[in-house]
Amino acid sequence: MSGLVEINFDGIVGPSHNYAGLSLGNIASASHKGDPSYPRAAALQGIGKMRGNMERGLAQGFLLPLPRPNFGLLRDLAVDAHTDRALLAAAWSASSMWTANAATVSPAPDTADGRCHLTPANLVTMLHRGQEWHDTQRQLKIAFGDERHFKVHDAVPASFGDEGAANHMRFCEGHGAAGVEVFVYGRPGGRFPARQHEQASRAVARLHGLDPDKCLFIEQNPEAIAAGAFHNDVVAVANERVLFTHERAFADNAVACETIASAFPALQVVEVPESAVSLEEAIKTYLFNAQLLTLPTGEMALVVPEECRESAAVWSWCESMLASNGPIRKVIPVDVRQSMANGGGPACLRLRVVADPTTVDARFLLDEAKAERLESVIAEMWPEQIDPADIGSDSLAKTVIEAREALLTVLSLDVLA
């Protein structure tokens, strides 16, 4: 379809960004629990990543922080001075910044009605994330409100955990062409919860009107989940014809690759062996939680966290990959350390939507003027530092609420206040 391009919608890091260690199975989040956080630096790092992609000639959008603290959740849980502080912290979480979990997206060329379908993720496995989807849906219904081109669904029932695009891959000859959609699920019973339920993935595929012959359902490696790969995008990422994956990403990597290749014969697999980069090192550095992008030149670039350059094993492998003249031609490190400390790399921070930018509400699309306005509000209004003891204070609540409202005002999105 003409006019269709991939737009990355990054989550703006909210002013309540903090390290409460709420995410069981997220090693980075747990290891930084109780550390001071730096919301202003975090948000500016995120804008910097967006600017980089925009400067590379790529379409860039954003989604906004959700209302925090969530007073409705505090009321529903009857939180008081004697309550477990984890429940209090959940209502302050800025985790909606990781928009890879905002929804699952099926572009128009894949769907029965020729519209782009978006299903918000219910995120029910974790309290601090399970509160998000209604507010996320409000944004999606504004950003993608043209019902001639988009359909925004309700989340799937909470009986089945759904974590959105972080467990979804799409293979195609080009973003505007029909593709094969791959849904990766986990089996329960391991050390950490398997957050993506197979039935949630199958429900999303049906909701989106996908061709059953162009949908694949593949099991994530339980060892990867146990090692801290709480989403598939921590161990594998896809773009057009390319699958970039760790050797231990799937329950059976060889079968997974054969299955995808059967449905999409043009598949090119770039597999990182355990002998070169261990699963643990891949998760520590978030090598695979990267943005695999097609640049305007047609070359593919991998946008990785700076932590990859600081790992001898990972960086050596990246250099050898580039020297091999494979499909990935550039590796671009970016600084998203504040997000990384909470367990979210470059890929966590973005939701990929294939659409004609002219059909999207322009208030959610980034340009230079908007980037400057965002940076100005963040620099002035976002807290410089939040300590764990600050969570729950009236003064911090006032600061966080006013900061978000200022952002909505400069974007003419007060309807979301």
* Cβ atoms 195, 163 nearer than 8 A: yes
Which structure tokens are listed for 246? 């760790």
Q: DSSP readout, 331-386?
A: EEEE--HHHHTTT--TTTTEEEEEE-GGGS-GGGB--HHHHHHHHHHHHHHS-S-B
Q: In what order do the strands lie in the sheet containing 236-239?
A: 236-239, 242-246, 268-272
* Cβ atoms 54, 60 nearer than 8 A: yes
Helix (H) / strand (E) containing 71: helix 71-76
Amino acid at 147: E
Torsion of CA 174, 176, 182, 183, to 10 degrees: 140
| Residue 213, C-beta contacts closer than 8 angstroms, at least 6 positions apart | 263
Provide the annotated active-site residues. 163, 231, 348
* Cβ atoms 200, 160 nearer than 8 A: yes
Cα separations in angstroms, 136 against 41, 66, 216, 267: 24, 7, 26, 33
* Cβ atoms 171, 179 nearer than 8 A: yes
Q: In what order do the strands lie in the sheet containing 5-11?
A: 59-63, 5-11, 350-355
Cα separations in angstroms, 26 against 229, 284, 382, 401: 7, 10, 25, 28
Q: Give the DSSP letter of residue 298.
A: S
